[in-house]
Amino acid sequence: MVRSSRLGLDRRYVPAVAVAAFMLLALLLDLPAVADAKPLRAAPVAQPNAGTAAQLADGDADGDGVPDELDNCPAVANGDQTDSDNDGVGDACDGPTDTDGDGVPDVQDNCQFQTNADQTDSDFDGIGDACDEQPPPDGDGDGVSDESDNCPTYWNPSQEDFDGDGLGDSCDENPTGTGGGGDGDSDGDGYTDSTDNCQWAPNVDQSDIDGDGQGDACDPSDDRDADQDGVLDAQDNCPSEPNADQGDVDEDRRGTACDTLERPRTAADCKKGGWTAFDGKYTFRCQRECLKQVPRENRRSGA
């Protein structure tokens, strides 16, 4: 009976002994006391808020309030659904906007609402001619506005100014800057009008093949007649052989007088593929057709 009560007493002290042992161990290992220790708690699991859950449930990936099936930018929030170029893709996710569809993005286009792929801006005011309400005057029609033209009354699209005096060569009395006056160079070829044999047509070589004082560049006719047959070379179908009648049997624009393939003269001209050499009116499909055109008196010759 006594032994049983001792065991019961000993059991009562077991918890106290265990606590004392743990405190001693904590002291030795520098651990926090049991009284200060706080129980560990599991981190809370993130829960989607009600708005996000509703968006996912409704199929609105970007959360802009527009369902994906109707959203013109389903991956980029754009509640206003702005689509400036009306291509079905919202501005928020579309490439560079090109309102007028001329291939030039609005940020670079000098006429955003008027098609003008060439971006012509004659007066260099930043507004393209296609939408510029008041195009600049261009009195000489050379494509350069009068205010920028170094010869506003002379056609000179190249704006050449050899001596760099601000006055274009076309209207500069002294385009070379070497002195001597003059009366301008209307065609800008380096020759003043008083010495130019073609004042309105550039011709730096001043070529005048027929020697009539009018340069070839502006001479409506060539007065030469090399074969002296009364037909000017420009119209002569045989300029090197006299042929006043301008005969052309095969009508190939080469006169009979100088056309070696005018028509077959002997049967030999038609044989061995010779019939393929003729052109103009006499274009043969076979040797037999060629032989028919040989003059009767020559058909046996060369056979």
Name the residue with higher pLDDT: 246 or 199: 246
Q: Is 70 part of a structural domain of the chain?
A: no
Average pLDDT over residues 123-133: 85
pLDDT at position 182 is 45
Average pLDDT over residues 241-251: 89
Q: Is 112 part of a structural domain of the chain?
A: yes
Average pLDDT over residues 24-53: 56
pLDDT at position 237 is 94
Residue numbers of the domain that contains 271: 267-298
Q: Is 30 part of a structural domain of the chain?
A: no
Do 122 and 146 fall within a single domain? Answer: no
Q: Which of 135, 165, 197 is the last residue of a domain?
A: 135
Confidence check: pLDDT of 303 > 50: no
Do 244 and 283 fall within a single domain? Answer: no
pLDDT at position 179 is 44
Do 96 and 129 fall within a single domain? Answer: yes
For the beta carbon of residue 99, count every other beta carbon within 10 angstroms: 16
Burial class from Cβ neighbours inside 10 Å (0-12, 13-18, 19+) for residue 224 reads middle
Q: Is 2 part of a structural domain of the chain?
A: no
Number of domains in the chain: 4
Do 181 and 160 fall within a single domain? Answer: yes
Q: Is 194 part of a structural domain of the chain?
A: yes
pLDDT at position 55 is 54
Average pLDDT over residues 76-96: 85
Average pLDDT over residues 40-59: 55
Report yes or no: 268 and 302 within 8 Å, Cβ to Cβ: yes
Confidence check: pLDDT of 58 > 70: no
HEC assignment per residue over the chain: CHHHHHHHHHHHHHHHHHHHHHHHHHHHHCCCCCCCCCCCCCCCCCCCCHHHHHHHHHCCCCCCCCCCCCCCCCCCCCCCCCCCCCCCCCCCCCCCCCCCCCCCCCCCCCCCCCCCCCCCCCCCCCCCCCCCCCCCCCCCCCCCCCCCCCCCCCCCCCCCCCCCCCCCCCCCCCCCCCCCCCCCCCCCCCCCCCCCCCCCCCCCCCCCCCCCCCCCCCCCCCCCCCCCCCCCCCCCCCCCCCCCCCCCCCCCCCCCCCCCCCCCCCHHHCCCCHHHHCCCCCCCCCHHHHHHCCCHHHCCCCC
Q: Is 75 part of a structural domain of the chain?
A: no
pLDDT > 90 fraction of the chain, expressed in percent and rounded: 20
Do 108 and 131 fall within a single domain? Answer: yes
pLDDT at position 2 is 47
Q: Is 24 part of a structural domain of the chain?
A: no
Q: The domain that contains 95 carries what CATH number?
A: 4.10.1080.10
Do 194 and 231 fall within a single domain? Answer: no
pLDDT at position 1 is 47
Q: Is 38 part of a structural domain of the chain?
A: no
Q: What is the mean pLDDT of the chain?
A: 79
pLDDT at position 295 is 85
pLDDT digits (tens, 9 = 90+) for 189-225: 888 788 899 988 899 999 887 778 888 888 877 677 8
Name the band, by pLDDT with cuts 50, 70 and 90, for residue 281: confident
pLDDT digits (tens, 9 = 90+) for 250-260: 888 889 889 88
pLDDT > 70 fraction of the chain, expressed in percent and rounded: 79
pLDDT digits (tens, 9 = 90+) for 108-123: 999 988 999 999 988 7
